[in-house]
């Protein structure tokens, strides 16, 4: 990664469905001199609401797969016997079940199994309407190594960052797994989007525990806070002694759903929300730049 002349912000959530991408796309609309990256490679969706065109596409090879050559195979059954993933049936390898361990390749007495680099996904370098760079990726069905793909797409974005870029805004994946860890690399601030439910609070706690390891400052947005004000108050009480700022409480509004249905950011769909997200953006900048 080159010397940083920019700040990186990642938007995360402990669980899916909290409104993380809605927040990420809104902040991306407001920020200037930015690069936007969607690192939710298992279920990328920023491209569904942005107007963009693709400059370049790249194949991603995240691992290896086995393949049996029937002309060499003596059908001894050794490969099927040693496969822990039940990926080999009738001397054929299932692409989606093969985990790429290579055990069958090593034990085959006939040298009938090849072990090759397998295409696991595609990632794209794009340009938004305001000429900002935008990157997203799509992992193929049944493929793993999503954390590695996150690192790959971020590396590509870093390579093309220009001197005028001040912000990198990342829409991260939900949860606390490997792709989240990869998304956090080099980040200056984390925006956590949560919801006022028991599961929302539970997963918020897990995510905050992870951020303590990385020692990255963070702030919380409680989305749909008014559907359960008691739980919203519990979230506020929890984050206060943790030294985590409350960036905003956003009311439940069907316009957010309508915006998604119309493939628009919430700001595009309803300009009344510009002030809400400008305030959030300004508060984030105060924390990072002070």
Find the distance separating the first CA and the last CA of the chain, reported in whole Å.
Answer: 24
C-alpha to C-alpha distance for 133 and 140, rounded to whole angstroms: 23
Its pTM stands at: 0.88
What is the mean pLDDT, run by run of 10 residues, along the chain of 290 residues? 79 91 95 95 92 94 91 95 94 90 95 92 94 92 80 92 93 92 94 95 94 92 96 95 93 94 94 94 86
What number of other Cβ atoms are within 10 A of residue 57's Cβ? Answer: 10
pLDDT value of position 1 = 46
Could you give the domains of the chain?
7-51+129-289 (3.40.50.300), 62-119 (3.30.70.20)
Would you state the structure tokens that stand for residue 257, as one six-digit string? 């759903």
User: Which of these, 51, 2, 284, lies nearest to 157 by C-alpha position?
Assistant: 2
- Nearest-angstrom CA–CA distance, 114 and 32: 49
Element (H, E) at 198: helix 198-214
Angle at 37 between CA 33 and CA 38, to 5 degrees: 145
Edge-first strand order for the sheet with 52-68 is 52-68, 113-128, 133-139, 34-38, 167-174, 7-13, 189-194, 218-223, 245-250
Number of H helices, E strands in the chain: 10, 11
């Amino acid at each position: 990664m080159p010397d940083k002349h920019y700040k990186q912000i990642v938007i995360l959530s402990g669980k899916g469905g909290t409104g993380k991408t809605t927040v990420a796309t809104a902040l991306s609309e407001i920020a200037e001199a930015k690069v936007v990256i969607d690192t939710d490679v298992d279920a990328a969706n920023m491209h569904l609401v942005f107007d963009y065109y693709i400059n370049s596409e790249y194949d991603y090879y995240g691992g290896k797969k086995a393949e049996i050559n029937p002309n060499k195979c003596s059908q001894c059954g050794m490969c099927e016997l040693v496969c822990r993933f039940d990926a080999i049936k009738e001397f054929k390898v299932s692409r989606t079940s093969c985990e790429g361990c290579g055990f069958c390749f090593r034990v085959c007495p006939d040298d009938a199994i090849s072990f090759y680099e397998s295409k696991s996904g595609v990632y794209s370098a794009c340009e938004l309407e305001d000429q900002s760079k935008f990157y997203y990726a799509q992992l193929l069905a049944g493929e793993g190594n999503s954390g590695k793909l996150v690192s790959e797409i971020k590396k590509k974005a870093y390579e093309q960052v220009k001197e005028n870029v001040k912000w990198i805004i990342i829409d991260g994946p939900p949860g606390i797994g490997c792709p989240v860890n990869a998304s956090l690399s080099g980040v200056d601030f984390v925006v956590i989007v949560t919801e006022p439910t028991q599961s929302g609070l539970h997963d918020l706690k897990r995510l905050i525990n992870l951020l303590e390891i990385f020692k990255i400052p963070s702030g919380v947005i409680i989305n749909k806070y008014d559907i359960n004000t008691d739980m919203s108050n519990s979230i506020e009480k929890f984050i206060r002694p943790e030294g985590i700022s409350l960036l905003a409480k956003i009311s439940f509004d069907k316009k957010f759903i309508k915006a998604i249905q119309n493939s628009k950011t919430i700001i595009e769909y309803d300009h009344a929300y510009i002030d809400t997200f400008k305030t959030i953006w300004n508060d984030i900048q105060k924390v990072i730049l002070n």
